[in-house]
Amino acid sequence: QKEVEQDPGPLSVPEGAIVSLNCTYSNSAFQYFMWYRQYSRKGPELLMYTYSSGNKEDGRFTAQVDKSSKYISLFIRDSQPSDSATYLCAMTLTGGGNKLTFGTGTQLKVEL
Amino acid sequence: GAGVSQSPRYKVAKRGQDVALRCDPISGHVSLFWYQQALGQGPEFLTYFQNEAQLDKSGLPSDRFFAERPEGSVSTLKIQRTQQEDSAVYLCASSPGTSGRITEQFFGPGTRLTVL
């Protein structure tokens, strides 16, 4: 079993929908949680970054971390076709050299 | 400003050949990471440099994989005697922080390696 589990999708939604993306993890030592977006044939780019449990909002994006359940989420409001990409959750330990442990990624398509 | 660049973008190798993949990090970034991303999977950590020191190579899958960063800037990932299972996208990321400080990792576009 992988340390970080993520439903690979694909997930297809109409424009304007609210999208919910999720990851579960098994290592309780993870402290920093990130969401990356990866367009086809590009490298991942950081969307959101959260330390420990709680919520963080940035424009149309909200990240949630529930450490007691080892569960993290990313919500996208008013989804746009330009949001079509693969979304990767990632996490890291404190003092672990910052190496990231990624989920498999969820492929999202927002249709007109 | 310039981001992380990688070359070549695409590499086709015959099984058994040696390959060298180059990463040019963002200028001044102390930390450099290599990840391997198989088709349909998330990136998996290979190795980490802080300046020229290779502090973690726990993710290198075999002794055929070797990475260096001799002057603390450009890094090269070398794969000897390539095998079909080495086919993947190899991503390089750089970060301004050190191991004691969590900072954003900026990724390059990757090198897509195909081993025939």
Does the CA dihedral A13-A19-A25-A31 come out positive or negative? positive
Dmax over CA atoms of chain B, in Å, equals 41
**Structure-derived torsion over alpha carbons of residues A108, A74, B33, B31, reported in degrees to the nearest 10:** 140
Give the pLDDT score at B46: 98
Confidence of residue A95 (pLDDT cuts 50, 70, 90): low
Three-state DSSP class for residue B102: coil
Closest among A93, A22, A38 to B45, alpha carbons compared: A93
3-state helix, strand, coil in chain B (%, to 5): 5, 45, 50
**CA separation for the pair B72, B28 (Å, rounded):** 9
Judging contacts by C-beta atoms under 8 Å, the chain A residues touching residue B108 are 43
What would the pLDDT profile of A52-76 be if each residue is shown by its tens digit? Answer: 788 999 999 999 999 999 999 999 9
Q: What average pLDDT does chain A have?
A: 93
Mutate to test the interface with A, among B10, B36, B45 (most CBs of A within 10 A): B45
Give the pLDDT score at B104: 85
A8-12, A93-97, B43-47, B51-55: least confident range: A93-97
Could B45 and A101 be called an inter-chain contact, meaning their C-beta atoms sit closer than 8 Å? yes
Mean pLDDT of B19-36: 96
Could B43 and A92 be called an inter-chain contact, meaning their C-beta atoms sit closer than 8 Å? no
What would the pLDDT profile of A13-50 be if each residue is shown by its tens digit? Answer: 999 999 999 999 999 989 899 999 999 999 999 999 88
**CA separation for the pair A55, A74 (Å, rounded):** 10
The phi, psi pair for B86, rounded to 5°, reads -80, -10
> Which residue on chain A is closest to B42 by alpha carbon?
A104
Give the pLDDT score at A66: 94
A82-96, B26-40, B52-66, B67-81: least confident range: A82-96
Give the pLDDT score at A54: 86
**CA separation for the pair A41, B115 (Å, rounded):** 18
Distance from CA of A60 to the nearest CA of B (A): 21
Distance from CA of A42 to the nearest CA of B (A): 5
Nearest to B100 among A44, A49, A95 (CB): A95
Could B56 and A101 be called an inter-chain contact, meaning their C-beta atoms sit closer than 8 Å? no
Closest among B93, B84, B75, B97 to B21, alpha carbons compared: B75
Give the pLDDT score at B75: 98
Nearest to B110 among A6, A32, A43 (CB): A43
The phi, psi pair for A82, rounded to 5°, reads -70, -10
